[in-house]
Structure 1
Amino acid sequence: MKKIIWIFVTLLIVSCNNEVKDYVTLKGTLKNNGVEKITIQGRNGFSKEITVDSNGKFSDTLKVTNGIHVIDSGSDKITVYLKNGYDLNLEFKGEKFVEGISYTGNGAETNNFMEDKRSFYMSDLANPKTYFKLDKDAYEAKVAEAKSILKGYKDKAKNLDSIIDRMDVKNEKMFFDYIDNNYEKMHANMVRFAKGKVSPVFVNYENSNGGTTSLVDLKGKYVYIDVWATWCAPCKREIPFLKELEKEYHGKNIEFVSISVDKPEAHETWVQMVKEKELGGIQLFADNNFESEFITEYGINAIPRFILLDPEGNIVDSDAARPSNPKLKELFTELGI
């Protein structure tokens, strides 16, 4: 009889130990010791603050709606997949969240997969220009290389959460469909507007400071062109970075030119925004919005778009890095600007 009771007790203990928790356990150590708290944000308005001690350690439990959440330190953010029952330990690779996280514990496999994918989409392999600039054989080889890398990530994640798996399949298909559907046209454009080719020109665009400006007026200096519009949110997000660049390179051998492709009825909005936001550089209004010859010559149908020209009016990069991208200043340094 005692033996039967002990068997029952043992089974009960095992059953309790195997019971799935209805909450997430999250712990880790930040490498940035200046952070006093982090916030976990998720769907349906979910938000919870977690205290970080003087050694950068944190630990807490959260009852979540399963899905992608954001870890926010106030100046730094990164995504994590949380599901009730997960018991995750986060090892931050550097002081900045963008440097990545290694995960251990229940739920680590899915989150390490997401980290692998994030590193891919931050690399040149996620930049369509990497593929579009190649001839057909090299293009096909590069696509095969990228797909092989992504398959390797998936092969490692044998127990990938089904939600992330479905999202990943959809996103990967969208990415490669875009590359494939646009290769011929974009490759032709990149050949046509390759480095060293003579740039199309704009003539007599209205200048916010009065009069008009043509590209030929700027000969003798590098010209960094920002094609934007007052209604374009991504364009406006670049404005603070562009203003900083203009300030840093003031007096150097480069002109910063912003060309608005707003429609005529938005002209006054453009005038007011230039004034209110104290936009620097050379602020121009295109002569026929997206139908302006300069815009159509470059095949621009999405903004913001940035173009860098050399002092002779030749193309350095027809689809240059944004002001917020550190690679732009690296290019300026290489050019001796």
Structure 2
Amino acid sequence: MKKSTYFLLLFVSISFAQTVAKVSFTAKIENRNSDTLTIFGPKKFKQVIAINQKGLFEATFEITEGIHQFNDGSESSMLYLKDGDALLLSMDAKAFDETIVYKGKGEKENNYLAQKALTDEAFELGLESLLEKEEAVFKAALEMKKTEDLAKLEGSGLYDKFVTTYKPKILQDVTMLQQFYAQKALAKKLEGIASPTFNFENHKGGTTKLENFKGEYVYIDVWATWCGPCRAEIPFLKKVEEKYHGKNIEFVSISVDVDKDHEKWQKFVTEKELGGIQLFADKNWNSDFIKAFGINAIPRFLLIDPTGKVLKADAARPSSVELTKLLDTLLK
């Protein structure tokens, strides 16, 4: 799962059954990203599975029946685990969601989840084209998706408790996608106009203004030290910074950590050897710059052009090939 990982984690934390269950889980993964798999679940459940001499990830363990997720060190996908399940997962990590196949007891529910991830991602990617149309068109498309999702869930002969557990997730996603669309729509309106400005504390001392970068492209990462998805982007950001070193672009990271975590931010930047220009927002989420862009979830990435106008108010992440495609075009 990629763009919907936030939805997945939120749902895992708020909705699950209470039955204690024992399951066996085996995974055969080509082009693996790590030598361990981690399964997360209710009640802070965490099961780390190391690869064995046969090249398989194998384990038997007790869980609380319900929605879980597995992570291969790079990406995540949802699982539904119940007592007696014996799952064999096969996949190619280079084409993560597209290649997930389950066999064994519990396969039906988990293959449903794998396919659902693909259709959800396709819908989210299509939001860009929907932004060019009236809001009513988006609402109609979302209502159709909800209707189709509920019909498929309830008409596929899936385990009754799974259907009951998962149905709120579909309804929750409708709300999430409405918020996601609203964010995208606001971002679209900001593109092409003069960017709001800032004057924030610089980790190296003094303060830095957006105007300091006039004549250069500016790629801005809005993040915080406590944000897991933000930290996950750091290695990719470092690679992008290295790729475009010496080009007409500055990489600026703006922390929205609260004041009490100021020292934590300073240490984090130093210890993790973060590159680019590291800034600390003056009023975290309530900073004028952050509010002007309607930022209510992080990480969030912005791209400002050399004249100070907003080029992308919701730019691609460093981990996305779309970012390097765009920068290659701009900085050729």
The Cα shift of 1:254 comes to 1.3
Q: Secondary structure at the match of 1:123?
A: helix
Distance 2:254 2:34 in 1: 41
Change (3 A) 1:212 1:82: closer
Change (3 A) 1:84 1:166: same
Corresponding residue for residue 172 of structure 1: 170
Q: Secondary structure at the match of 2:101?
A: strand
The Cα shift of 1:304 comes to 2.6
The Cα shift of 1:174 comes to 1.2
Residue 272 (structure 2) pairs with residue 277 (structure 1): yes
Corresponding residue for residue 218 of structure 1: 213
Q: Could you list the per-position Cα deviations for residues 129-154 of structure 1 after superposition, in whole angstroms to 9, with x for gaps in the alignment?
A: 67666422321232144335524642
Worse-matched range after superposition: 119-128 or 245-254: 119-128
Report if aligned partners of 1:133, 1:191 keep a CA contact under 8 Å in 2. no
Task: Name which of 322, 326, 329 aligns with 1:327.
Answer: 322
Report if aligned partners of 2:218, 2:249 keep a CA contact under 8 Å in 1. yes
Q: Could you list the per-position Cα deviations for residues 51-74 of structure 1 after superposition, in whole angstroms to 9, with x for gaps in the alignment?
A: 7676x6788877765444556667
Corresponding residue for residue 147 of structure 1: 146
Change (3 A) 1:100 1:275: same
Residue 187 (structure 2) pairs with residue 190 (structure 1): yes
Change (3 A) 1:137 1:92: same
Distance 1:257 1:237 in 2: 17
Q: Secondary structure at the match of 1:301?
A: coil
Q: Secondary structure at the match of 1:170?
A: helix
Corresponding residue for residue 9 of structure 1: none
The Cα shift of 1:50 comes to 8.4
Which of the pair has the greater relative contact order for Cα pairs under 8 Å at 6+ separation? 2
Worse-matched range after superposition: 251-260 or 105-114: 105-114
The Cα shift of 1:318 comes to 0.7
Q: Could you list the per-position Cα deviations for residues 247-306 of structure 1 after superposition, in whole angstroms to 9, with x for gaps in the alignment?
A: 222112211011233444544443333323222111223333333322222222333321
Q: Secondary structure at the match of 2:314?
A: coil
Q: Secondary structure at the match of 2:279?
A: strand
Q: Secondary structure at the match of 1:205?
A: strand
The Cα shift of 1:175 comes to 1.5
The Cα shift of 1:109 comes to 2.1
Worse-matched range after superposition: 139-148 or 39-48: 39-48
Worse-matched range after superposition: 226-235 or 276-285: 226-235
The Cα shift of 1:76 comes to 7.0
Q: What amino acid does structure 1 have at the position aligned with 2:141?
A: K
The RMSD of aligned alpha carbons is 4.0
The Cα shift of 1:218 comes to 0.8
Distance 1:171 1:254 in 2: 41
Change (3 A) 1:144 1:272: same
Change (3 A) 1:105 1:333: same
Change (3 A) 1:138 1:47: closer
Change (3 A) 1:41 1:277: closer
Q: What amino acid does structure 1 have at the position aligned with 2:164?
A: R
Report if aligned partners of 2:187, 2:312 keep a CA contact under 8 Å in 1. no
Corresponding residue for residue 201 of structure 1: 197
Distance 2:28 2:238 in 1: 36
Distance 2:280 2:71 in 1: 39
Gaps of 5+ in 1: 1-21
Corresponding residue for residue 137 of structure 2: 138
Q: What amino acid does structure 2 have at the position aligned with 1:160?
A: L
Distance 2:277 2:88 in 1: 51
Residue 246 (structure 2) pairs with residue 251 (structure 1): yes
Q: Secondary structure at the match of 1:243?
A: helix
Q: Secondary structure at the match of 1:175?
A: helix
Q: What amino acid does structure 2 have at the position aligned with 1:217?
A: N
Distance 1:35 1:234 in 2: 18
The Cα shift of 1:181 comes to 6.3
Worse-matched range after superposition: 70-79 or 266-275: 70-79
The Cα shift of 1:220 comes to 1.8
**TM-score w.r.t. length of structure 1:** 0.72
Change (3 A) 1:140 1:73: closer
Sequence identity, in percent?
40
Gaps of 5+ in 2: 1-20
